[in-house]
Structure 1
Amino acid sequence: MDANEPARMRVSACIIAFNEADRIGDCLSSLAFCDEIVVVDSNSSDATVAIAHAAGAHVLQRRFDGFRSQKQYAIEQAAHDWVLCLDADERVSDALRASILAARDRGFADAAGYRFARLSDYFGRFLRHGNAYPDRVLRLFDRRHGGWRGKREVHEAASVDGAVVTLGGDLIHYPYRSLEQQLAKTERYARMMAEHDHARGKRATLAKLVLAPAWRFWRGYVLRGGFLDGWHGLIYAYVRANYVRQKTIMLWMLQHGQPVTTPRRENDTTPE
């Protein structure tokens, strides 16, 4: 390198994981261009940690206390200020990698953070319409100017103080192993969001109970062209509308003093 050239910017990839042995390998492979990979694991019982070590990642253990908190902890452990944050079910596509490297070679001079589209596989088909795409996410940023901020631990989002630029290329996403997993995950997220909204004083109304799920389906499947993704788009739109229904019902129950989960009895070892 010429002595007059500025030093190349270095990037740390940051991943949080729990029992992701079947998926994290491909994620790590797609991050080989990064200068460091940090994996924060929540005491996985499968081979997640071994696979991460084999890929050369720096692995840390931390008890899970929320998605936002876990991701913020991960970027705080990174060796470099520019961080690229992924989940274990995501991969950097070739086109996105080229865009990131080009921005890096320019010294990340035009922004404090970069967003890009996320392309999700839904049981054998990538969804390119509706509420599923482009689903732009801010995942590459200078931690000195932002991070995983706020109090919401679910549907967390990074933010930065400064310009945000959109890069070309897709972040490839494999979110669900099965429909059963999606439904369980959706219910869990609905509960967490209802509890978050309730704590902030938000309230459900009869109108929201009736209209919000219908609007979510209509907007995604019809107005945004989800029908163009065939039966995959139809099922996806129904499940997402059901998420809104569950969240609103749970918020309604909470504001009327009713529990949304079954209290665990002492010495109960049944998994949640």
Structure 2
Amino acid sequence: MSDQTTDRTTGAAATPPLSCYIRTKNEAGRIGEVVRAALACADEVVVVDSGSTDDTVALAEAAGARVVSVPWRGNGGQKRAGEELCRNDWLLDLDADEIVSDELAAEIRALFAAGPPARPVYELTLVTVPPTGEVWSTFVLAHRRKLYDRRVVRMPDHPAWDQLELGRGAAVGRLGGPVYHHSFRDFEHVVAKLNRISTVRARETRPRSRAELAARVLFALPFYFLKHLVQRQLWRAGVYGVALAGISAFGRWLRDVKMYEALRMADPPGPRRR
């Protein structure tokens, strides 16, 4: 595997020795665009498909990806499968609704131009693209560690958690170009995603105590709403943003509710009165 990432003819930054992996299941709507954008900064795109029944596989292959069928191993486990399928040690982790911007692609090529990057992990900025209106380029931003050297850190092989974890004080770089995140198609899609995520997180998270969970069920919902509305600045999207803040808060609260119900269901029933 060569570290040479500069075109000797033009002197321009060439495609670096970087592999991108993408988890999919029925992502035909955007997968072609996602793959083509990733190939602007990676010399390999691996699509890890867990049983698509639409045109995901055909569209990904037509866009230049190598598609491998892998039965679902959980959120983190599926990413670990992607890591193992890549030929390069430097990896880019993308979801099937995340599109690398031209600015970020150029930044990644420049990062590799002088050889291996100085740091083993880099954070990227996710910019939400709502289904209606302008791109939310200055609020609801998320920073995720998505560009990394698998010889230093790996994705957790976990059914729920799928983010890189590093020790405190670890050297993490940050790139400025955006990843455009088409995170939802409409509010119905948001509700379905939050319902699914809350089920997985509730199953895999251990509460500190039943009393704490009960307190969250009773009192936490308004605080979750304010976090999305004020801290994430969804108020800047007007009525649409306020509605999304409410739905997002409910999704977070739903995790608490499901955890609380699971504890109750685990208790043996008391004696019946005659």
Q: Is this contact kept in 2: 1:129–1:226, CA < 8 A? A: no
Aligned pairs for 1:60-139 (under 5 A) are: 60-125=68-133, 126-128=135-137, 132-133=140-141, 135-139=142-146
| Matching of residue 184 in structure 1 with residue 181 in structure 2 | no
Q: Distance in 2 between matches of 1:208 and 1:155?
A: 22
Letter paired with 1:104: F
Q: Distance in 2 between matches of 1:183 and 1:129?
A: 24
Letter paired with 1:187: N
Q: Distance in 2 between matches of 1:224 and 1:178?
A: 19
Q: Is this contact kept in 2: 1:91–1:173, CA < 8 A? A: yes
What whole-Å deviation, never above 9, does each CA across 1:100-125 have from its counterpart, x for those lacking one?
A: 11211133432101111101122214
Q: TM-score, normalised by structure 2?
A: 0.84
| Matching of residue 196 in structure 1 with residue 192 in structure 2 | no
When the two chains are superposed, the root-mean-square deviation of aligned CA atoms in Å is: 2.2
Q: Is this contact kept in 2: 1:11–1:82, CA < 8 A? A: yes
Q: Distance in 1 between matches of 2:3 and 2:68?
A: 32
Q: Name the count of aligned residue pairs.
A: 251
Q: Distance in 1 between matches of 2:137 and 2:238?
A: 11
| Matching of residue 148 in structure 1 with residue 148 in structure 2 | no
Q: Distance in 2 between matches of 1:223 and 1:190?
A: 21
Q: Distance in 1 between matches of 2:232 and 2:184?
A: 22
What whole-Å deviation, never above 9, does each CA across 1:107-157 have from its counterpart, x for those lacking one?
A: 343210111110112221433466x31x10111100111121263x33521
> Which of 31, 40, 47 is the matching residue for 2:48?
40
Q: Quote the residue 1:253 is aligned against.
A: 261
Q: Quote the residue 2:241 is aligned against.
A: 233
* CA drift at 1:201: 6.2
Q: For the structure 1 residues 235 and 128, does the alpha-carbon distance in structure 2 shift closer, same or farther, using more than 3 Å as the test?
A: farther
Please give the secondary structure, in 1, of the residue aligned with 2:250: helix
Q: What are the ranges of 5 or more consecutive residues in structure 2 without an aligned counterpart?
A: 6-15, 268-274
Q: TM-score, normalised by structure 1?
A: 0.85
Q: What are the ranges of 5 or more consecutive residues in structure 1 without an aligned counterpart?
A: 260-272
What whole-Å deviation, never above 9, does each CA across 1:193-238 have from its counterpart, x for those lacking one?
A: 111114x766453321133221121122124432112123212211
Q: Is this contact kept in 1: 2:155–2:162, CA < 8 A? A: yes
What whole-Å deviation, never above 9, does each CA across 1:147-191 have from its counterpart, x for those lacking one?
A: 21263x335212357421010111101122232222111111111
Percent pairwise identity:
29
Letter paired with 1:154: A
